[in-house]
């Protein structure tokens, strides 16, 4: 028998067990092993077959590492055809996550049972794909068209109980002993003479679908798909499930799957999948680096950031104390947390009981003495280096030795903060993004003296609280905010050169950004940047801020004051172009002696995104980021960069580094060298005909 699939007969039930760590993905060996085992079972004394997995999960999908390689026999559809035509009942027994091809395998079985903690789902859309092994044909046949569309276009997994209600799981087991319970269920089916159900035999009555349903659904999904094509193809497949016989539907599915798998979007999304997992790994740190036990956490500061961070810990059951200067500020902070949870409860996404549990884990204090014995402190106070140093001196004096002392600073020098303590090895940056309980990115900032076990602990903890971590060395703004400077600057300068705010933002949004840069400014508040500029010793170049300054000085602070680069509808918060701002831009351009001109879409894209790439190249060269993929992750999870473009560095490789380099040189020559200097690494790679991916390979 195969090394990754075993087969034995127990109590007259043939038990096929997959054991292919880490996630039992459907590699060629697994497919072949299952196929052979099913064929062997046809000829022995077994009366039914159970398909289950060892380890942490049922089959978690196709083996993504095989994508893009020449197909290897047996194909997944070939394996499923053998499963589906078994003369003996086949029962999938699910634990962990049955995802993608794994769930499609279960759907090709006659019955599905699962432990209560199991989840099933078709997450292919998150890789720019569609389920290519019958998922789009079988799920609507069982769960109905609407539920299938929701499940497959969102890619979100469904817990066992809900899957049971939807008919996707036939039996929820007790979950104490998967193998014994699955065998017992199989015996029960055999003994009760259960039918040889096959999902393919179910038909959907086309008349049950209201006219125009699919067109409407397409329109609805397009709004949230941000230019991704997979959702649309999924809808076409489900439409085929309604209108065509099973085998023809499968053909449609296969054809559209083949189209997607070679698409640049899917390539980008697969890159993002692996980059995300790679980013959690710290070069030079062995896998078995010890981690410190984090049982209790304290957060200094209960403002928007501190409160959001506290929620992250309470959400996973870790008690957290908020420390404030006075009771009033503390009450305010705790009140905001309560309100945020209540909103989630109202939306039906959290039960009252769970809210109560989480709130009970969050307590407050105004005394550092109360946090003496915590394992991790995260400082989230005002962005002022002196205040931060003061906090760390105090923490050093009170908190137990061995605790991790983290700062949530977005710009300040983590080394300098560490030096305010006698234990710089325990100090690390944990840069959350606002709102901290929602945004997935956690930039982990490694100070010069940060200990290895502190880094490994924070990386592991980040994952535990649902974050995607990326490591940065110390520099002004770390990876994300440092890169953002050039992007924001060009958005501003494009206005002076003749583009309108609507034009800049809509081009960025058409590119796939969650929100254009000027609209983001309005959302965050234009006064924040204004105050930061006022505090600078040296006055910034007016071309980078003259409009933003004028807006703030005329009381336009962004959404919170009802107007910024745009006017905002007080009821709907919808943004509207404002002729007053357009006039102000013209006046300011004139004041600076800039002749305005028509700006093309291509120029906007290149001027916004090429500075990100150029700064990214500097960041790599300086060793601030470990890999180009880490930079991509920062932008995908922290800045709304479109996943279908894979992140700025992956995007650069797709455009071609020579082209990026040439265009930056062209801007240097036409727009001025102040803000356009190609990074040496970009120049080198372009001249050598290489990509950032090549650099990553060469630099291990
Ligand atoms: N193919 C190949 N490798 C896979 C894989 C797949 N389908 N799914 C996960 N892996 C690998 C990861 O790359 C990682 O490898 P590494 O340890 O070398 O970095 C390892 O398995 C563990 O994955 P990770 O995501 O870190 O573990 P987890 O326990 O947090 O999550 C899953 C497990 C299965 C929920 C998650 O990996 C997942 O969502 N996988 C993708 C499933 C999918 O999209 N399937 C459809 C494919 S078309």
Give the tens place of pLDDT for each residue, 277-335: 999 999 999 989 999 999 999 999 999 999 999 999 999 999 999 999 999 999 999 99
| Residue of 18, 22, 66, 253 with the most ligand 1 atoms within 8 Å of its CB, for mutation | 22
Residue after which a domain boundary falls, among 445, 477, 509? 477
Across the range 406-426, mean pLDDT stands at 96
694 and 594 fall within a common domain: yes
541 and 672 fall within a common domain: yes
Of all atoms in ligand 1, which is nearest to the CA of residue 131? 48
Residue 224: per-residue pLDDT: 84
Phi then psi for 205, rounded to 5 degrees? Answer: -80, 115
Distance in angstroms (rounded) separating the CA atoms of residues 388 and 406: 11
442 and 501 fall within a common domain: no
Across the chain, mean pLDDT equals 96
- Ligand 1 center to residue 273 CA distance, Å? 8
Catalytic status, residue 124: yes
Say if CB 113 and CB 91 are below 8 A apart: yes
Ligand 1 touching residue 98 (CB < 6 A): no
Which of 263, 273, 251 has its CA nearest to residue 133? 251
Say if CB 80 and CB 109 are below 8 A apart: no
Ligand 1 touching residue 100 (CB < 6 A): yes
Distance in angstroms (rounded) separating the CA atoms of residues 286 and 293: 18
Residue whose CA is at the smallest distance from ligand 1 atom 33: 23
Ligand 1 touching residue 155 (CB < 6 A): no
Ligand 1 touching residue 371 (CB < 6 A): no
Ligand 1 touching residue 63 (CB < 6 A): yes
Residue 155: per-residue pLDDT: 97
53-81 per-position pLDDT tens digit: 999 999 999 998 888 788 899 999 999 99
Residue after which a domain boundary falls, among 181, 202, 223? 202
Domain membership of residue 581 as a residue range = 480-623+626-700
Task: List the structure tokens of 603.
Answer: 């120029």
Residue 387: per-residue pLDDT: 93
Tokens 């006075």, located at residue = 326
- Ligand 1 center to residue 100 CA distance, Å? 11
Within 10 angstroms of residue 93's Cβ, the number of other Cβ atoms is 30
Strand, coil or helix: 265: helix
Ligand 1 touching residue 123 (CB < 6 A): yes
- Ligand 1 center to residue 560 CA distance, Å? 41
Of all atoms in ligand 1, which is nearest to the CA of residue 60? 34
- Name residues whose C-beta falls within 8 Å of residue 360's C-beta, 6 or more positions apart in sequence: none
Of the candidates 32, 47, 73, 124, the residue annotated as catalytic is: 124
The total number of structural domains in the chain stands at: 3
Distance in angstroms (rounded) separating the CA atoms of residues 60 and 122: 10
CATH number at residue 452: 3.40.50.720
Residue 231: per-residue pLDDT: 97
329-382 per-position pLDDT tens digit: 999 999 999 999 999 999 999 999 999 999 999 999 999 999 999 999 999 998
Residue 264 in any domain: the answer is no
440 and 545 fall within a common domain: no
Residue 267 in any domain: the answer is no
632-661 per-position pLDDT tens digit: 999 999 999 999 999 999 999 999 999 999
- Percent residues over pLDDT 70 in the chain: 100
Which of 225, 266, 268, 272 has its CA nearest to residue 132? 266
Ligand 1 touching residue 65 (CB < 6 A): yes
- Ligand 1 center to residue 467 CA distance, Å? 16
51 and 30 fall within a common domain: yes
485-497 per-position pLDDT tens digit: 999 999 999 999 9
Residue whose CA is at the smallest distance from ligand 1 atom 24: 277
Residue 64: per-residue pLDDT: 87
Which of 402, 406, 422 has its CA nearest to residue 414? 406
Say if CB 376 and CB 406 are below 8 A apart: yes
Ligand 1 touching residue 22 (CB < 6 A): yes
Of all atoms in ligand 1, which is nearest to the CA of residue 23? 21
Residue 535: per-residue pLDDT: 82
Residue after which a domain boundary falls, among 154, 178, 202? 202
Say if CB 650 and CB 618 are below 8 A apart: no
- pLDDT of 536 over the 90 cut: no
Cα distances (Å, whole numbers) of residue 372 to 211, 295, 453, 485: 66, 13, 21, 39
Residue 531 in any domain: the answer is yes
- Ligand 1 center to residue 96 CA distance, Å? 12
440 and 510 fall within a common domain: no
- Name residues whose C-beta falls within 8 Å of residue 357's C-beta, 6 or more positions apart in sequence: none
Helical pair 230-243 and 135-143, crossing angle rounded to 10 deg:
60
Say if CB 238 and CB 149 are below 8 A apart: yes
Ligand 1 touching residue 64 (CB < 6 A): yes
550-594 per-position pLDDT tens digit: 999 999 999 999 999 999 998 888 999 999 999 999 999 999 999
Strand runs (DSSP E) across 332-426, as ranges? 362-365, 376-379, 404-407
- pLDDT of 668 over the 90 cut: yes
Q: Within its chain, how far is the Cα of 125 from the centroid? A: 13
- pLDDT of 1 over the 70 cut: no
Looking at the chain, the number of H-run helices and the number of E-run strands are 29, 19
Give the least confident one: 490-504, 519-533, 597-611.
519-533
CATH number at residue 182: 3.90.226.10
Q: Within its chain, how far is the Cα of 152 from the centroid? A: 17
Across the range 134-145, mean pLDDT stands at 98
Across the range 494-507, mean pLDDT stands at 98
670 and 590 fall within a common domain: yes
Residue 325 in any domain: the answer is yes
Ligand 1 touching residue 132 (CB < 6 A): no
- Ligand 1 center to residue 24 CA distance, Å? 9
- Ligand 1 center to residue 125 CA distance, Å? 15
570 and 649 fall within a common domain: yes
458-485 per-position pLDDT tens digit: 999 999 999 999 999 999 999 999 999 9
Residue 532: per-residue pLDDT: 84
Catalytic status, residue 328: no
Residue 539 in any domain: the answer is yes
Helical pair 628-638 and 478-497, crossing angle rounded to 10 deg:
70
Of the candidates 47, 104, 443, 603, the residue annotated as catalytic is: 104
CATH number at residue 593: 1.10.1040.50
Residue 67: per-residue pLDDT: 84
Of all atoms in ligand 1, which is nearest to the CA of residue 100? 46
Residue 161: per-residue pLDDT: 98
| Residue of 21, 25, 53, 60 with the most ligand 1 atoms within 8 Å of its CB, for mutation | 60
Counting Cα atoms < 13 Å in the Cβ hemisphere of 677 gives: 5
643 and 521 fall within a common domain: yes
- Residue count of the chain, please give it: 700
Distance in angstroms (rounded) separating the CA atoms of residues 13 and 44: 10
Q: Do the bridges between strand 404-407 and strand 427-432 make them parallel or antiparallel, or are there none, so unpaired?
A: parallel
Sequence-ordered alpha helix ranges (H) in 512-647: 517-524, 526-535, 546-553, 579-591, 601-621, 628-638
Confidence of residue 383 (pLDDT cuts 50, 70, 90): confident
Ligand 1 touching residue 272 (CB < 6 A): no
Which of 630, 643, 656 has its CA nearest to residue 282? 630
* 3 state SS for 227-238: CCCHHHHHHHHH
Residue 224 in any domain: the answer is no
446 and 523 fall within a common domain: no
Which of 414, 511, 470 has its CA nearest to residue 619? 470
554 and 606 fall within a common domain: yes
Residue 612 in any domain: the answer is yes
Phi then psi for 576, rounded to 5 degrees? Answer: -135, 140
Residue 225: per-residue pLDDT: 86
Residue whose CA is at the smallest distance from ligand 1 atom 45: 61
> Rounded to two decimals, what is the model's pTM?
0.91
- pLDDT of 542 over the 80 cut: yes
379-383, 502-506, 511-515, 530-534, range with greatest mean pLDDT: 502-506
Distance in angstroms (rounded) separating the CA atoms of residues 449 and 444: 14
Cα distances (Å, whole numbers) of residue 108 to 20, 78, 111, 503, 570: 20, 11, 9, 50, 53
Say if CB 130 and CB 233 are below 8 A apart: yes
349 and 313 fall within a common domain: yes
162-181 per-position pLDDT tens digit: 999 999 999 999 999 999 99
Which of 123, 5, 134, 16 has its CA nearest to residue 77? 134
């Amino acid at each position: 028998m195969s090394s990754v699939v075993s087969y034995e007969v127990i109590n007259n039930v043939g038990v096929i067990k997959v054991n292919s760590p880490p996630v039992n993905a459907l590699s060629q060996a697994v497919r072949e092993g299952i196929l052979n085992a099913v064929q062997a079972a046809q000829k022995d004394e077994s009366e039914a077959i159970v398909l289950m997995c060892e380890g942490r999960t049922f089959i978690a999908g196709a083996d993504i590492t095989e994508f893009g390689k020449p197909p290897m026999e047996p194909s997944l559809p070939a394996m499923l055809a053998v499963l589906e035509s078994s003369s003996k009942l086949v029962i999938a027994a699910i634990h962990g996550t049955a995802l993608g091809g794994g769930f499609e395998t279960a759907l090709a079985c006659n019955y599905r049972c699962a432990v209560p903690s199991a989840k099933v789902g078709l997450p292919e859309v998150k890789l720019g794909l569609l389920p290519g092994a019958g998922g789009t044909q079988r799920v609507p046949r069982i769960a109905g068209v609407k539920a299938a569309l929701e499940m497959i276009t969102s890619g979100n997994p469904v817990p066992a109980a809900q899957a049971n209600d939807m008919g996707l799981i036939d039996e929820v087991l007790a979950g104490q002993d998967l193998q014994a319970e699955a065998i017992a269920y199989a015996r029960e089916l055999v003994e009760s003479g259960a039918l040889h159900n096959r999902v393919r035999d179910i038909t959907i009555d086309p008349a049950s679908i209201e006219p125009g349903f699919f067109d409407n659904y397409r329109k609805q999904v397009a709004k949230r798909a941000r230019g991704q094509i997979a959702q649309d193809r999924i809808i076409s497949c489900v439409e085929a499930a309604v209108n065509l016989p099973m085998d023809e539907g499968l053909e449609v599915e296969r054809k559209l799957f083949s189209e997607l798998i070679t698409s640049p979007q899917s390539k980008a999304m697969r890159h993002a999948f692996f980059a995300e997992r790679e980013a959690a790994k710290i070069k030079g740190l062995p896998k078995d680096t010890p981690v410190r036990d984090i049982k209790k956490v304290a957060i200094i500061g209960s403002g928007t950031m501190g409160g959001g961070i506290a929620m992250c810990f309470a959400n996973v059951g870790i008690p957290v104390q908020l420390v404030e200067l006075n009771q009033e500020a503390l009450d305010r902070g705790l009140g905001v947390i309560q309100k945020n949870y209540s909103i989630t409860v109202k939306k039906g996404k959290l039960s009252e009981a769970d809210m109560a549990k989480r709130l009970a884990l969050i307590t407050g204090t105004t005394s550092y003495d109360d946090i003496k014995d915590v394992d991790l402190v995260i400082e989230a106070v005002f962005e002022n280096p002196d205040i931060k140093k003061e906090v760390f001196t105090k923490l050093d004096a009170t908190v137990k030795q061995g605790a991790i002392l983290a700062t949530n600073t977005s710009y300040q020098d983590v080394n300098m903060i560490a030096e305010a303590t006698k234990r710089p090895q325990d100090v690390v940056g944990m840069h959350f993004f606002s709102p901290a309980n929602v945004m997935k990115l956690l930039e982990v900032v490694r100070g010069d003296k940060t200990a290895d076990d502190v880094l490994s602990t924070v990386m592991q903890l980040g994952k535990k609280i649902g974050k995607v971590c990326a490591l940065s060395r110390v520099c002004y703004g770390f990876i994300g905010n440092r890169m953002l400077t050039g992007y924001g600057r060009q958005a501003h300068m494009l206005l002076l050169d003749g583009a309108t705010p609507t034009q800049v933002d809509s081009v960025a949004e058409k590119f796939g950004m969650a929100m254009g840069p000027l609209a983001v400014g309005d959302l965050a508040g234009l006064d924040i940047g204004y105050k930061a500029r006022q505090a600078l010793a040296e006055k910034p170049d007016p071309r980078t801020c003259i409009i933003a300054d004028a807006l703030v000085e005329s009381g336009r602070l962004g959404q919170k004051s009802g107007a910024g680069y745009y006017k905002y509808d007080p009821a709907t918060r919808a943004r509207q172009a404002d002729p007053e701002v357009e006039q102000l831009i013209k006046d300011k351009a004139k004041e600076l002696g800039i002749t305005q001109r028509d700006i093309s879409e291509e120029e906007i894209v290149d001027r916004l995104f090429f500075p990100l790439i150029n700064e990214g190249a500097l960041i790599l060269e300086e060793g601030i980021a470990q890999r180009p993929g880490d930079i991509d992750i920062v932008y995908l999870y922290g800045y709304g960069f479109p996943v279908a473009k894979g992140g700025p560095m992956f995007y650069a490789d797709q455009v071609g580094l020579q082209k990026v380099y040439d265009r930056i040189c062209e801007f240097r020559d036409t727009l001025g060298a102040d803000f356009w200097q190609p990074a040496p690494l970009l120049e080198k790679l372009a001249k050598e005909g290489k990509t950032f991916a090549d650099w990553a390979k060469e630099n291990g």
